[in-house]
Structure 1
Amino acid sequence: MEEKNHYMEDIPIIKQNTLISIIVACYNVEQFLPRCIESIMAQTYKNLEIILIDDGARDNTGNICDHYKTLDERIVVVHQTNGGAAVARNEGIKLARGQYIGFVDGDDYIEPYMYEYMLSAMLTTDAELSVCRYFEDSQEDLKKARTYRKKGLVHIKDDGKAKEIVERGVRLLELTGGEALKEYVEESDKIVIRNAPWNKLYKAELLDEVSFPVQRYYEDILFSAQILSKVRKVAYIDTPLYHYIINRKGGAMGAGLRKEILTEQIPSYHARSELLEEIGRRDLAASHDYMVYKKLLLLYTEARRDKTGEKKKFMEPLAEEIKTCANQMYRVFSCDIADPHQKMRMELFLKNPKFYDLFMDLNEGIVLPLRQKFSGGHKK
């Protein structure tokens, strides 16, 4: 891993001869789509192909796409039967003519210099993939005045009137593919890569043999692992350039526990673990499985504590999945990132889930509050 003191230079319009294709999957996002499209149209990097995929939306999304097509000749619109984000993105990849490809979700938006920065970082490091940090904005946040202060960016909002001050120097890290894959699997907070395709810019050749698995949800889990297992070099921009809208009413990722966790998310985790084994990264496969079992224990606790009873139906299948850890305890909990406390919790669960339930209730209801109180962590 190498850190570069990089100064993102303006790419003059006359030198913007590299085409970037931006694929936007749109489904029932009429309230947010204009902001999304306009943020792409306003990019400082102008040589764009903007592919809007109307994925069978039932609201006014399709008409909005058609309207913006009349305003900007760079926009291509496709209307198709609803098939989900994976199908929409795959269709966009087939149509893309650019040497580089990016993705934006129809309810999100981007900073005006995002793709200028992303491409500049790739050209500087000779990387096949660039990744940036991102903001997490709730709908409530967007209605309030707030100030961001991040490395390389000061973004000030005051009572709905936006003022931007851009410092063009950013922290740029050059990672090998193996280093990036490790940060991704271990879900590093210092180098935030994650599953999402939208905080990345891909060299088009990477997508020649890799596409999104055709499923309704969690399609990016295996996709991102496949991409990162192929790349030689990754440029990481330690500055947030993408605005990811969280907790959107009606949004798929805000739905909490649901059957697709069992039918699509967990199978995707298994497929990703198998991929890591296949490419000879048994160390990362162990770290990956450790992270998965940790999440499953949290999901089990969430299901058990559900007051409505809607989530309790997930307890038994989650418990059965967690019990598969029994035959691989040593492998999973000998990985570099394993926490001894997490191992104790798993052993307790495998011995008797009711003991685990009691421990979690006592720990979170009594032990942690007392620890915070006597450590001075409480607030008056």
Structure 2
Amino acid sequence: MVSVSIIIPVYNKEMYLNDCIQSVVNQQYRDIEIIIINDGSKDNSENIIEKWSAKDKRIRYFSQRNQGVAIARNKGISIANGDYIFFLDADDYLEEYAILKLVTDALYSKADIIIGNFYEKSGNKFVEKQSFENKLFNKSDLKKTGTTLEMFIVNNRHMARAGNKLYKLDFLKKLQVSFVDGVIAEDRLFNLICYVNNPTIQVVNEYTYIYNILDNSRSRTLSSNYYDQNISLLNYLYDYLKKESKLEEYQELFQLIVMYDVSKVINQTFERSKEKIKSTNVSIKKLRENTLIFNTISAVIKEEKFKKINGGKAFYRISLLNYLLVKAPFLVPVYKTVAYISRKVKLR
């Protein structure tokens, strides 16, 4: 029997925590341990956890001073006893058969990572995310530009999240993969580091996880320093690949990630507001000063293989951005920017 450790970091989630824990306790798959890390909550979360701990002996409860979700998850990894681990945010919850469905595929595929599908819940409304093919990806698929898995990872929020995935614990511990403290989008960085360590990945088109869309959720809103966060992630990933002697092996994947992430800067040019214009100018200035990103953008626009990916949209944006970085010292009025630059780079 395969055992699963479900890790739930908690920080001030009293409004959602009861439903979250109940959804785990009610799982049809019973061979689970429930690791709850209270990360210094100041609300009633502790009382809720203690009540559930008294009811179900599978719950292991730990409390720590507030150190952030990365530290809490890493503690969960270090003490987990399961064959697989599963991360669940305290404001989300699971379908009753979630773990059973994922474990069934884990037994069949023997994969290092098993990924399910999810709903997004906003108020009383449930939104199904796009369906996708049930498929086992082998260790070489990430190294082929334009493969389904590569595109899925780079251009899909689904792959970025830590939730709704089974991770083989031996895989994480052998490679010493952990969450990086102090990096925004730590879920995405964690998964990217997993993906460049040659896992087998089973994608399962089963709806198993419910994400609560909250107005104040850091991970679900575009923050004002969004691009600083992305650049920080890209710099860390580059340093990791270089340190592990994987840079040449995963160069195309890194270039593709840069193309998608940095090209989002150009989207700001569609916004008719002084705030967006100012933000874009600041972002472009920082990108111009970042040698790694600047050189990567310059390399990407010379590669034919990137031109038609995702209908060419990201390549189009990165080409516009390259023009801004190389030739334009400042943005022209926002309502003219895209048309103006498009004529210059002859992409329309």
User: TM-score of the superposition, structure 1-length normalised?
Assistant: 0.74
After superposition, the Cα gap between the structure-2 partners of 1:288 and 1:256, relative to the gap in structure 1 and judged at 3 Å, is closer
Residue 283 of structure 1 is aligned with which of 252, 257, 262? 252
SS at match of 1:244: strand
C-alpha deviation, 1:322, in angstroms: 3.2
1:28 maps to a residue whose letter is: N
C-alpha deviation, 1:336, in angstroms: 3.3
Match of 1:177 in 2: 139
SS at match of 1:70: helix
After superposition, the Cα gap between the structure-2 partners of 1:269 and 1:305, relative to the gap in structure 1 and judged at 3 Å, is farther
Match of 1:367 in 2: none
CA contact (8 A) 2:162 2:188 kept: no
Match of 1:210 in 2: 177
C-alpha deviation, 1:127, in angstroms: 1.0
Q: Distance in 2 between matches of 1:335 and 1:150?
A: 29
1:6-21 residue pairs with structure 2 within 5 A? 17-21=1-5
Show structure 1 runs of 5+ residues with no match: 1-16, 152-169, 364-380
What CA deviation, in whole Å up to 9, does each residue of 1:152-175 have, x standing for no partner? xxxxxxxxxxxxxxxxxx963111
Match of 2:68 in 1: 84
Q: Distance in 2 between matches of 1:354 and 1:261?
A: 17
Q: Distance in 1 between matches of 2:29 and 2:230?
A: 36
Q: Is 1:124 aligned to 2:114, yes or no?
A: no
Q: Distance in 1 between matches of 2:296 and 2:53?
A: 54
Q: Distance in 2 between matches of 1:344 and 1:205?
A: 42
C-alpha deviation, 1:292, in angstroms: 1.7
C-alpha deviation, 1:77, in angstroms: 1.0
User: TM-score of the superposition, structure 2-length normalised?
Assistant: 0.80
Higher strand proportion (structure 1 or 2): 1
Q: Distance in 2 between matches of 1:33 and 1:180?
A: 37
After superposition, the Cα gap between the structure-2 partners of 1:330 and 1:59, relative to the gap in structure 1 and judged at 3 Å, is same
SS at match of 2:88: strand
Residue 59 of structure 2 is aligned with which of 75, 99, 118? 75
What CA deviation, in whole Å up to 9, does each residue of 1:162-199 have, x standing for no partner? xxxxxxxx963111134257656534699875221112
Show structure 2 runs of 5+ residues with no match: 341-348
1:23-42 residue pairs with structure 2 within 5 A? 23-42=7-26
- Paired residues, number: 319
Q: Is 1:136 aligned to 2:120, yes or no?
A: yes
Residue 238 of structure 1 is aligned with which of 196, 205, 218? 205
Match of 2:222 in 1: 256
Q: Distance in 1 between matches of 2:140 and 2:3?
A: 28
After superposition, the Cα gap between the structure-2 partners of 1:301 and 1:107, relative to the gap in structure 1 and judged at 3 Å, is farther
SS at match of 1:22: strand
1:43 maps to a residue whose letter is: Q
After superposition, the Cα gap between the structure-2 partners of 1:270 and 1:213, relative to the gap in structure 1 and judged at 3 Å, is same
After superposition, the Cα gap between the structure-2 partners of 1:150 and 1:347, relative to the gap in structure 1 and judged at 3 Å, is closer
Higher helix proportion (structure 1 or 2): 2
2:184 maps to a residue whose letter is: Y
After superposition, the Cα gap between the structure-2 partners of 1:346 and 1:58, relative to the gap in structure 1 and judged at 3 Å, is same
Residue 345 of structure 1 is aligned with which of 285, 303, 320? 320
C-alpha deviation, 1:328, in angstroms: 3.9
Percent identity over paired residues: 25
